Structure 1
């Protein structure tokens, strides 16, 4: 009898073990399998949230088929205590394993609302936007100029959100003075700026920050990045360059940046200036003359006078035979690369062509013809 009972018990144990193994195998497959999401979502994980609350939210949004499996899987992977607060983009058909990785890996939020403080060449603005998970594109919710108008109510509202991301974006060609003034206008930054960084030393780019970040800290990041970009470009410079130092490259890059806003033209514009330097010709570029007058503090607001084009100043490249003494703006990576790796052309001249670009030429006769075309276009526009 006891043998019979023992045999039944053993059979029951084996069956139970078999069933348990099957459940574990099924759960493991479910954890790794494609999820039910048919459209990406933005998952908000609040500070202090648990995997239990996150799994319920995911179930409610149709992102997982079984929240219990997600919790068990996270626990088995020893990630239960690694849950991060923020807003995270969960792509369509994301598996539970992938979702756990998304909400535990850390780093910046990948969706939700962000405020971008844009520092431009002539003006600044603030953009409030939100990522649409369905399209993967940002949708503008508000935009305003802090020095000209009151901030809309939504601006204050989103700043209260714990997961709202903040960024400052610096445009290529902005001067150091403009960057400092732009940072001063950002009300969520902290601290003062002891002095304006030297011209050209700041890398135009986008920089993430949090409330209370010192302005000097952001400027230091910009300086470090520009130094790295400049050194890398200098190390890979063309043998044809007449430039004697990385600082000269930065000066020429800033002139290229101010002369054209068309990416495809940078190499050609660079070739004109390099050819002029190689032939001992004056650069003859208006932006340097303007910088000599404004020192990079705002716009000239008018055309150059003949007396200013004839005046002997360190920045008047119609008079001096070389580069000006400093950069005239903060050039971006592409202009720095162009200065040190210009296109191989014979161009000596260029002038606006009426389309936003420039007409390039080798001879003075061709250049004069291009100038005449440009003046005709200007005259026609003024008569409209």
Structure 2
């Protein structure tokens, strides 16, 4: 009987040791997920809640086992809310560290410089990870940048951040403006910056383009900016064809070929550099500019110089077969 008792004791100890080993090993062994998965931990969720979500996603073998191990090996530490990426094969230990560390997934929506509001609206509405409806934002109210958002967040909340960013940036830049700059108000600065933004894709040219337009405004000349012809036709979307003579002559609140001064409103959402350019324009006597055929522009102080530059530009276009 004594020998039998010793044997049973040894078996019991072996079983206990195996169970203990499996418990410890289960904390660090490769997890069951065969691919990366995401998990959204809502505000106020407990480790038990997360364990259930992890089991549903196939990231752990057992919710109860994960919870039991987390209570011991996690040393009572809490987890954070947010959306997390769980790599395939992640162990219980790895997963708990991810949930505890708070390194949530970063989802971005990018608004390029010069994007008109109709396209901002379409980009936000087309994002399947955002929710709710929004109106087309006011032109010039959105600051181009990349904005982080959470899966399931409302489009209205994201748009509000974009517009608040523009308000903050404009307030700061306006306060630091060159006293000799032409805009008489932040609103005028955004309108002129939107034209500068659409006129050149070369950042280094923006202060000079702003200087040219400032000179024209001060002289009472028409700005004659092609993008202002296009805006009332497409709301800022690409025209996709050459501008018609009738469109150049059209009288409306935007076409600067048929009016002096600024349009009634912005024609795009300008970036910081374009706003900065109109508030700190280059010192120049230039009144004209035309494309140089290389992506930039040639500037001229006199109409005679400008006409010669235009002639050269037409020669380039003929050589390209564009005329």
Do the structures match in fold with TM over 0.5? yes
Bigger share in helix? 2
Distance, in Å, in 1 between the alignment partners of 2:191 and 2:159 is 20
User: Which residue in the other structure is 2:258 paired with?
Assistant: 319
User: Which residue in the other structure is 1:199 paired with?
Assistant: 139
Give the gaps of 5 or more residues in structure 1. 1-43, 50-71, 89-100, 110-162
1:281 to 197, 218, 221: 221
User: Which residue in the other structure is 2:119 paired with?
Assistant: 178
What value does the CA root-mean-square deviation take over the aligned residues?
2.9
Q: How big is each residue's C-alpha offset from its partner over 1:108-135, in whole Å with a ceiling of 9 and x where there is no partner?
A: 55xxxxxxxxxxxxxxxxxxxxxxxxxx
1:187 to 128, 153, 160: 128
Distance, in Å, in 1 between the alignment partners of 2:199 and 2:149 is 31
Q: How big is each residue's C-alpha offset from its partner over 1:365-384, in whole Å with a ceiling of 9 and x where there is no partner?
A: 11111111111111111179
User: Which residue in the other structure is 1:362 paired with?
Assistant: 301
Q: Is the aligned partner of 1:208 residue 2:166?
A: no
User: Which residue in the other structure is 1:339 paired with?
Assistant: 278
When the two structures are superposed, what TM-score results if normalisation uses the length of structure 1? 0.59
Q: 1:305, CA displacement in angstroms?
A: 1.1
Distance, in Å, in 2 between the alignment partners of 1:225 and 1:234 is 14
User: Which residue in the other structure is 1:372 paired with?
Assistant: 311
User: Which residue in the other structure is 1:166 paired with?
Assistant: 107
Spell out structure 1 runs of 4+ moving beyond 6 A: 44-47, 82-85, 101-105
Secondary structure of 2:299's aligned partner:
strand
1:243 to 171, 183, 204: 183
Q: 1:243, CA displacement in angstroms?
A: 1.3
Distance, in Å, in 2 between the alignment partners of 1:207 and 1:257 is 20
Q: How big is each residue's C-alpha offset from its partner over 1:188-219, in whole Å with a ceiling of 9 and x where there is no partner?
A: 111011x2111000111101111111111111
Q: Structure 1 residues 222, 352: closer, same or farther in 2, change over 3 A?
A: same
Q: Is the aligned partner of 1:264 residue 2:204?
A: yes
Distance, in Å, in 2 between the alignment partners of 1:329 and 1:166 is 25
Give the gaps of 5 or more residues in structure 2. 1-36, 42-46, 51-72, 87-96
Q: 1:295, CA displacement in angstroms?
A: 2.6
Q: 1:104, CA displacement in angstroms?
A: 6.5
Secondary structure of 1:167's aligned partner:
strand
Q: How big is each residue's C-alpha offset from its partner over 1:235-284, in whole Å with a ceiling of 9 and x where there is no partner?
A: 01111112111000000000010001111111111100011111111101
Q: Structure 1 residues 105, 344: closer, same or farther in 2, change over 3 A?
A: farther
Secondary structure of 1:377's aligned partner:
helix
1:305 to 240, 244, 247: 244
Q: Structure 1 residues 371, 167: closer, same or farther in 2, change over 3 A?
A: same
Distance, in Å, in 2 between the alignment partners of 1:333 and 1:229 is 7
When the two structures are superposed, what TM-score results if normalisation uses the length of structure 2? 0.70
2:288 to 336, 340, 349: 349
Note the 1:126-137 alignment, pairs <5 A.
Answer: none
Contact 2:182–2:279 (8 Å) recurs in 1 = no
- Count of matched residue pairs: 250
Note the 1:211-230 alignment, pairs <5 A.
Answer: 211-230=151-170
Q: Structure 1 residues 315, 383: closer, same or farther in 2, change over 3 A?
A: closer
Q: Structure 1 residues 339, 104: closer, same or farther in 2, change over 3 A?
A: farther
